[in-house]
Amino acid sequence: MRLGLSQLPLPFGHSSIDDDTKAESRVNGRFAPPGSTRPATCAATPGGVIIRRPMALTQADLLALADRTFIKNYRQQPMVLAHGRGSEVWDLEGKRYLDMTAGIAVNCLGHAHPAFVERLRAQLGRLIHVSNLYWNDQEILAAQAITERSFADRVFFCNSGGEANEAALKLARRYQQVVAGQPARTTIISTTGSFHGRTVATVSVTGQAKYRDGFGPMFGPVEFVPFGDLAAASAAIARPEACAMIVEPIQAEGGLIVPPDGYLRGLRAACDAAGVVLIFDEVQTGTGRTGRWWGHDHEGVAPDVMTLAKGLGGGVPIGCLAVTERAAAGLTTPTGGAVPHASTFGGNPFATAAAAAVIEILEADDLIGAAARQGEHLGGKLAELVAKLPGRALEARGRGLLRGLAVAGNPSAILGRCRELGLLASLAGANVIRFAPAYLVSTGELDEAVAILARALEEAP
Ligand code: PLP
């Protein structure tokens, strides 16, 4: 079946989005911080401020169409999300969900944040894309915003976390070969249980075999050491073939595992002693998610290379490699030589405008402080569940607003029940229900989400 434009759903009254966004902006210029009441316009209708229009295609029609047109690599739930506001989203049938997934730790400003939307809309009207044959103002401002708030001296922009890690691995290899004069240093050290992306090189350094199965031969050599085991990592780093160590400050997809205190500091010391490049994969932990700008800030230590994505764009795809002056030499073009690494869309003015806006709004509204405070509250509520539901709720984990609850039983069934009850959360590791909401999530929303999870756990067979 071919669809004409007239058959496509026009679910929302766009004029009402505009009017209400403006009205809300006039009220307070942005979403209210956690704890304060929302402007009346937000609560006025069951679907937030957005009014649905009759559609040509129903949710069921679209699901049937998706079934015929997509490669079946994902296992999407049978729902089509259509619009959102803050920490709430609605599907095409008008069902409201509390969004504790936030695009898997992406939408740090929530959905349809008025100031963010305004900035993006303005940028769309100015310049969407040029190329890296020229500079654009937004990428320069975003680079300044990142370097001013981190250890990094220089950045490279790309489009996703996997690409940022791919670039980090290339930087490390070339740094050893071309800058340090150590061509025998080729081994990448990574940790078991880690997740670094879905490109061939990044699945190769991902410490979970299920992501590599069927895709060999892999990039290598790679040596895996247990996450959190400093002695094992130090021994691998000390070997003469060691090139780089890549590690997440908190293993996120691996099950929200926080390493022991001193682990990152110990890795720093071992890498310094050996001349090995230290890469922190902050794709999930970066940009305020843990209640500080970067996950490594909790240990007061800095890597040579940090990779970012997810929250940095607030929902607009972007990846970033943030590095020291010394490490930057690994990807620097020699005079008259070929460009060693590049990306058509990297530094795209729309994506980098989003990153600059995210950083500005997070700071202006103290949303990283909010992530720390709300994260404490959420961590406390999840710990209460462990005490209240022994044998069902096993362990509360995480930091800031990257939190989870290890559960007994079938986690997919528990997540399914949560969804029926109006809560979206995601699975991390084998059995951890992950909450990674927007930083502006309210205490009431967190309490409602935890109450739904408690009910789903109580009802689980
Ligand atoms: N690194 C970490 C720590 C991640 O959590 C993810 C995604 O979940 C990635 C890398 C890959 O990022 P992307 O899916 O944007 O390629």
285 lines ligand 1 (CB under 6 A): no
Is there a catalytic annotation at residue 310?
yes
Q: Would the CATH topology of 81-111+367-459 be identical to that of 127-364?
A: no
Output the six-digit token pair for 115.
């100031």
pLDDT string in tens for the chain (461-residue length): 444 433 434 333 333 333 333 333 333 333 333 443 333 333 334 444 444 544 589 999 999 999 999 999 999 999 999 999 999 999 999 999 999 999 999 999 999 999 999 999 999 999 999 999 999 999 999 999 999 999 999 999 999 999 999 999 999 999 999 999 999 999 999 999 999 999 999 999 999 999 999 999 999 999 999 999 999 999 999 999 999 999 999 999 999 999 999 999 999 999 999 999 999 999 999 999 999 999 999 999 999 999 999 999 999 999 999 999 999 999 999 999 999 999 999 999 999 999 999 999 999 999 999 999 999 999 999 999 999 999 999 999 999 999 999 999 999 999 999 999 999 999 999 999 999 999 999 999 999 999 999 999 999 88
CA 33 to CA 145: how far, in whole Å? 23
195 in active site: yes
Could you give the CA distance from residue 97 to residue 419 in angstroms, rounded to a whole number? 8
- Find the 105 Cα to ligand 1 centroid distance in Å: 10
Of 101, 83, 88, 414, the closest CA to residue 284 belongs to 101
pLDDT, position 56 = 80
Nearest residue to 388 via CA among 411, 409, 405: 405
Atom nearest to 319 CA in ligand 1: 15
User: Under CATH, what is the fold of the domain 81-111+367-459?
Assistant: Aspartate Aminotransferase, domain 1 (3.90.1150)
Which letter, b or e, does each residue of 75-90 get, where b requires 16 or more Cβ atoms within 10 Å of its Cβ?
eeeebbbbbbbbbbbb
Mutate to test the pocket of ligand 1, among 104, 107, 196, 256 (most ligand atoms within 8 A of CB): 196
Residue 126 Cα to ligand 1 middle (Å):
30
**Coil, helix or strand at residue 12:** strand
CA of 89 to the centre of ligand 1 (A): 23
Q: Which of 195, 345, 350, 435 is catalytic?
A: 195
* Contact between 356 and 120 (Cβ < 8 Å): no
Taking the C-alpha atoms of residue 399 and residue 409, their distance in angstroms, rounded to an integer, is 24
Centroid of ligand 1 to alpha carbon of 252 (angstroms):
9
Q: What is the pLDDT of residue 461?
A: 84
pLDDT digits (tens, 9 = 90+) for 92-135: 999 999 999 999 999 999 999 999 999 999 999 999 999 999 99
State the distance from the centre of ligand 1 to the C-alpha of 210, rounded, in angstroms.
15
- The number of the ligand 1 atom at minimal distance from the alpha carbon of 251 is 3
Q: Is 161 in the pocket of ligand 1 (CB under 6 A)?
A: yes
Give the closest residue (by CA) to ligand 1 atom 12.
Answer: 161
d(CA 353, CA 171): 25
For position 37, what pLDDT does the model report? 39
Q: Which pLDDT score, from 0 to 100, does residue 190 have? A: 99
146/105 Cα distance (integer angstroms) = 19
CA of 160 from ligand 1 middle (Å) equals 7
Strand ranges of the sheet holding 242-247, from the earlier edge strand across to the other edge: 154-158, 319-323, 305-308, 277-281, 242-247, 187-192, 222-226
289 C-beta closer than 6 A to ligand 1: no
Instruction: Please tell me whether residue 278 adopts helix, strand or coil conformation.
Output: strand
> Quick one: which of 217, 213, 210, 183 has its CA closest to 195?
210
Taking the C-alpha atoms of residue 85 and residue 93, their distance in angstroms, rounded to an integer, is: 16
Q: Is the CB of 295 under 6 A from ligand 1?
A: no
User: Any alpha helices (H) in 238-309, and if so which ranges?
Assistant: 263-274
Q: Does 72 qualify as catalytic in the annotation?
A: no
- Distance between Cα 314 and ligand 1 center (Å): 15
Rg (CA), the chain: 23
Helix (H) / strand (E) element for 173: namely helix 161-174
Which single residue is written with the structure tokens 């998610």? 289
Which atom from ligand 1 is nearest to the alpha carbon of 253? 5
Best probe residue, ligand 1, of 310, 343, 432 (max atoms within 8 Å of C-beta): 310
Give the residue carrying structure tokens 């303005």. Answer: 122
pLDDT of residue 53: 45
Ligand 1 pocket check for 252: Cβ under 6 Å: yes
Q: What angle do helix axes 114-126 and 349-364 make, rounded to 10 degrees? A: 150
Contact 287, 80 (CB under 8 A): no
CA-angle at 446, arms to 445 and 447, nearest 5°: 90
Q: Is the dihedral of CA 19, 21, 22, 26 positive or negative?
A: positive
Catalytic-labelled residue, pool 20, 99, 281, 297: 281
d(CA 83, CA 17): 11
CA angle 291, 296, 300 (to 5 degrees): 100
Cβ atoms of residues 304 and 327 within 8 Å: yes
Ligand 1 pocket member 283 (CB < 6 A): yes
CATH architecture of 127-364: 3-Layer(aba) Sandwich (3.40)
Contacts of 38 (CB under 8 A, 6+ apart): 31, 32, 86
Atom of ligand 1 at shortest range from CA of 310: 15
CA 275 – CA 326 distance, rounded (Å):
12
Domain ranges of the chain: 6-52, 81-111+367-459, 127-364
